[in-house]
Amino acid sequence: MMITFLQNFGGQLIFKTWQHLYISGISLFLGVIVAIPLGVLLTRFKKIAGIVIGLASVLQTVPAMALLALMIPLFGIGAKPAIIALFIYSLLPILRNTYLGLEDVNPSVLDAAKGMGMSQLESIRMVELPLAAPVIMAGVRLSGTYVIAWATLASYIGAGGLGDFIFNGLNLYRGDLILGGSIPVIILALVVDYLLGLLEKALTPRVIGDEGGQN
């Protein structure tokens, strides 16, 4: 069945996989460049941290289909509203893990950095973010998996992607289309999680990695 599917829809599969990666990649990238700096900022303004993270948590509870539907009156149909909706969904895990990761940095390390004459920005860039990298990247990996899964729903608002196969298969009662869309989504999620895991290891300070290996 899958060989027949590839013969009939191989070209579409490549194109829709690219659409899926495009929508997911931009959404996750926007989530990273917004949530990580915001998480750093919240560690400096802890009084509002609970409010901001709580708001992100509320947005996370909105059903994906409802959020996509809300995007249509504001941004129309297509990739743009899908990217905005998925970006909103990607925020919470990254934001929360960035805040928690930075909060867990040993205060004595921060004092040592300050004693060496580092400014706050230098401390964040050279000490805090590297030490918090494993926790932050765990949030990025979780968001990456979520975004790839939720991007299948973007088909409902004309954004394309592998969801087209799945929903066409449901409408036409064709198992080959459902599997032809679902299996690549699962593979993409596993591959992205693996690649982000490699990035996590690369960003983790070598001392932390060595200690982890000894435990």
Question: Domain 2-205 is classified in which CATH homologous superfamily?
Answer: MetI-like (1.10.3720.10)
Q: Distance between CA 130 and CA 204 in Å, rounded?
A: 6
Instruction: Look at residues 186, 174, 191 and name the one whose alpha carbon lies nearest to residue 2.
Output: 174
With 0-12 / 13-18 / 19 or more C-beta atoms within 10 angstroms meaning exposed / middle / buried, residue 180 is buried
pLDDT average, residue stretch 13-17:
92
Identify the residue with better confidence: 140 or 113.
140
Contact yes or no for 115/107 (Cβ under 8 A): no
Determine the average pLDDT of the residues in 91-118: 88
pLDDT score recorded for residue 192: 93
What pLDDT, on a 0 to 100 scale, did the predictor assign at position 214? 46
pLDDT of residue 16: 93
The average pLDDT across 52-68 equals 85
pLDDT tens digits, 141-169? 999 999 999 999 888 888 889 999 999 99
Asked if residues 200 and 208 have their Cβ atoms less than 8 Å apart, the reply is no
Domain boundaries, given as residue ranges, for the chain: 2-205
8 Å CB contact between 32 and 140: yes
What is the tens place of the pLDDT at every residue in 71-94?
888 888 888 999 999 999 899 999
